[in-house]
Amino acid sequence: MANNVHDFKVVLVGEGCVGKTSLILRYIENTFNSNHITTVQASFLKKKLNIDGQRVNLAIWDTAGQEQFHALGPLYYRNSNGAVLVYDITDASSFPKVKVWVKELRKMLGNDVCLVIVGNKTDLEKERHVSLEEAEQYSEAVGAIHFQTSAKLDEGVEDVFLGLTNKMLEQAAKQHSRNETLERQGSQRRNVIIVDDEDTPPPASTRQCCSHF
Ligand SMILES: Nc1nc2c(ncn2[C@@H]2O[C@H](COP(=O)(O)OP(=O)(O)OP(=O)(O)O)[C@@H](O)[C@H]2O)c(=O)[nH]1
């Protein structure tokens, strides 16, 4: 496994205006734009990482958060290894939307998809409307790591993608050993000799031979 290159697909989801595009642009290009430009279709950016000698290629997909684009979701999150579910700490309605996404992703992608939940805009702490305790408790309950970020001030952004990548590497290692076990069991099964029952008719070739007499 050590020298393998891992290709991971990561998708960012969450309500409109929570800062999904801003988190990606901060992480990949180290830029921040204070204007909100509504994402209308998904696009992806690439990032290469090297973690303890393991090479990782991330394809990070930005999706549209506005409700009218929600139906497009499955097209973009299909085959994702990981998802970043973003809410805005100043927007109370953005947190329940994360819960809806957790259910949808677990239903569509199963338990193997790695989830992180991110409370963005911590530079606006004074306007906080989502309790940190509630967000942490919920994240733990659904098996997701919780992070807080400010895309504006570049706080915690790198940790989100590093934390998620480590989780996806663990998941890939688990999957690899599961596959090895299945392969081993498969080859053991192929070695089993099947002993015919006494009542089983003889093979076709023998019967053909006997019919000449
Ligand atoms: N104060 C503050 N503003 C932020 C932060 N991150 C994003 N914003 C602002 O929030 C607004 C929305 O950011 P986007 O990144 O466009 O949000 P989005 O989730 O991609 O929005 P959709 O494309 O509609 O889904 C913009 O005006 C950003 O400048 C942050 O950490 N702090």
Ligand 1 midpoint to CA 102 (Å): 21
Residue pair 62/20 in contact (Cβ under 8 Å)? The answer is: yes
Tell me, what's the pLDDT at 212?
43
Q: Which pTM does this prediction carry?
A: 0.85
Give the range among 45-49, 169-173, 192-196 with minimum mean pLDDT. 192-196
For 14-62, what is each residue's pLDDT tens digit? 999 999 999 999 999 999 998 877 776 667 899 999 999 999 999 999 9
The closest residue, in CA terms, to atom 23 on ligand 1 is 39
ipTM of the shown complex: 0.99
For 114-165, what is each residue's pLDDT tens digit? 999 999 999 999 999 999 999 999 999 999 999 999 999 999 999 999 999 9
Query: How far is CA 27 from its chain centroid?
Result: 18
**Cα(85)–Cα(118) distance, rounded to whole angstroms?**
6
The closest residue, in CA terms, to atom 16 on ligand 1 is 36
What would the mean pLDDT of 85-111 be, rounded to a whole number? 96
CA nearest to 88, candidates 117, 116, 57: 117
Residue 36 CB coordination number (10 Å): 11
Residues in the ligand 1 pocket, defined by CB under 6 Å: 16-22, 33-39, 64-66, 120-121, 123-124, 150-152
**Cα(146)–Cα(128) distance, rounded to whole angstroms?**
16
Residue 190 CB coordination number (10 Å): 7
What is the chain written as a DSSP string? Answer: -TTPEEEEEEEEEESTTSSHHHHHHHHHH----SS-----S-EEEEEEEEETTEEEEEEEEE---SGGGGGGHHHHHTT-SEEEEEEETT-TTHHHHHHHHHHHHHHHH-TTSEEEEEEE-GGGGGG--S-HHHHHHHHHHTT-EEEE-BTTTTBSHHHHHHHHHHHHHHHHHHHHHHHHHHHHHHHHHHTPPPPPPTTSPPPHHHHHHHTT-
Query: How far is CA 97 from its chain centroid?
Result: 17
Exposed e or buried b for every residue in 158-181, given b needs 16+ CB within 10 A? eebbebbbbbbbebbeeeeeeeee
Domain annotation for the chain: domains and CATH numbers: 5-176 (3.40.50.300)
Q: Indicate the top mutation candidate among 12, 17, 23 to test ligand 1's pocket, ranked by most ligand atoms within 8 A of CB.
A: 17
Q: Which two structure tokens, joined as six digits, stand for 131?
A: 């309790």
The closest residue, in CA terms, to atom 14 on ligand 1 is 19
